[in-house]
Amino acid sequence: MAITSIPTQVTPPLWAYTFVQAPINGNGYDYFNTAVKRVNYNTVSSGTLAIDVTAAAIHRWQPGATTTVSFTGFPAVSTGYFWQVEIKGGSLFTINWPASIKWDSSASAPTLSANVTLLNFFTPNQGTTIYGGVAFADINAA
C-alpha cells in the first residue's frame, strides 16, 4: 500500500495542572490520575513566603520582590513527602531557597523562567534534606 500523505506531528495542549506528575505521595500512594489540591499565593511582595507543604500538593505563586522561601508543616511519615511549586516570572526577582535543598544536577538552584517554571520537591526525612528539581522549565501559560 502506497503512502499518500506524510503524517503531521500533533502537539497536545498543556493542562492546568489538575494532576500531579509524581511517583508517590507522603503515604506511598501514587498521584497518577488523582486530582490534587492547589494553593494560589498570588503575587508575593513581602519578601518572604512560608509554604506549608501539607496545605496542598501544588503551591502556585509569582514573586513581586526578592523573596526568601521556607517550607513548613512536614508530616511525620517515614515514606517521604512530595510537593510541587509553580512559579510565574521567577527570573524577575532573586529567590532565596532553603539551604537544606539538594538540587538535581547542580549545587545551586536552577535558573527560573520569566514564564512559568514547575519545580518538584521531595523529602525523605521531614525536611532535614529536601531534593529539588525542575519538572517544566519554561511553560508559556497564562
Per-residue pLDDT of 33-60, as tens digits, reads 455 678 888 888 888 899 999 888 899 9
pLDDT digits (tens, 9 = 90+) for 82-104: 899 999 998 989 999 999 999 98
Residue 17 lies in a domain: no
pTM of the entire structure? 0.73
User: Is 1 inside any structural domain?
Assistant: no
The residue range of the domain holding 115 is 38-139
What distance in Å separates the CA atoms of residue 36 and residue 29, rounded to the nearest whole number? 13
Give the chain's domain count: 1
